[in-house]
Amino acid sequence: MDKEFEISREFDGIHFEIQPNGKDEVVSRSSINVINHYREGFIVKKNNEIVAICHESKELDIEFVKPINRHELDSFNSFLKSKHIETYNLWDIQETFNNSGLSKVDAVHLMSNDLVNIKRKSYDNLIMHKATYSKLEQIYSDAFDVVNPKRLESWLKELKNEDWFSLSDIYILGYETPAAFLIIRKRSKHILEVFLFGIIKQYRSKGLGNKFFSHLMDQIYNNFNSSDITIQIWVHESNNLAYSLYQKHNFKSIRIRKKYLITL
């Protein structure tokens, strides 16, 4: 059975459609960027068909491209073990293993609501700053403690290569200097996604997250100003502060992707 599997780093001709709605995704952005050579990784094939996409970072993250049963998972795991892989994170994009007894170590929630229902407020003492790539790189570095120049360069390159991305998708607010930023991803004419939201260290742990996010939501509402727009955001279940913040702004969880630790 294991001989039916093979590892490949050849992705020519492989293409996955990006769904306009996050709740319909069957392949994650991370996996698509592996296929596009923006992230390190490989694919596993069975009988020359793709079974899984594997992202190599600090840990090995794997997701299957279609539902599989427990017997197929066991065969897949036997193959990986034969390749001297000891552990990996299984991202259950297909929501196949909800009642499998596997060890869940994390989950991400897709939170959503109509834009008109999202709490928003404008604050007179906050100003919007013009977005530039150099400014985005600096704020991202500070907000997410990314100081390695190669990591910063790789992140910005990957972002620029996204089909949907442009400088107009970046919202930077603050006082005399930037304090927080948000990137909007236009998934379709009627669906927006908060792709990234961050606050620089100087303004963290001061109770300002709600104020900053409310002001940014007000900016987005004014820019799009439509009654038929849905706005979504993915947030890790373990990130209690972020989850609570989005709940306060009327985002509601509509889908959960679970991550399981697999030890071979």
Residue 36, C-beta contacts closer than 8 angstroms, at least 6 positions apart:
11, 161
Whole-number Å distance between alpha carbons of 122 and 215: 5
Q: What is the pLDDT along the chain (264 residues), one digit of tens a residue?
A: 456 899 999 999 998 888 889 999 999 999 999 999 999 999 999 988 999 999 999 999 999 999 999 999 999 999 999 999 999 999 999 889 988 889 999 999 999 999 999 999 999 999 999 999 999 999 999 999 999 999 999 999 999 999 999 999 999 999 999 999 999 999 999 999 999 999 999 999 899 999 999 999 999 999 997 789 999 999 999 999 999 999 999 999 999 999 999 999
147 shares its domain with 213: yes
261 assigned to some structural domain: no
Q: Please report the sign of the dihedral spanned by the C-alpha atoms of residue 238, residue 59, residue 186, residue 256.
A: negative
Which residue range is the domain that position 61 belongs to?
Answer: 2-102
94 shares its domain with 127: no
143 shares its domain with 200: yes
12 shares its domain with 128: no
- Structural domains counted in the chain: 2
DSSP single-letter state for residue 18: P
What ranges make up the beta strands (E) of 115-251?
127-129, 170-174, 178-186, 191-199, 230-236
Whole-number Å distance between alpha carbons of 73 and 77: 6
Q: What is the pTM of this model?
A: 0.91
21 assigned to some structural domain: yes
159 shares its domain with 43: no
CATH of the domain at 218: 3.40.630.30
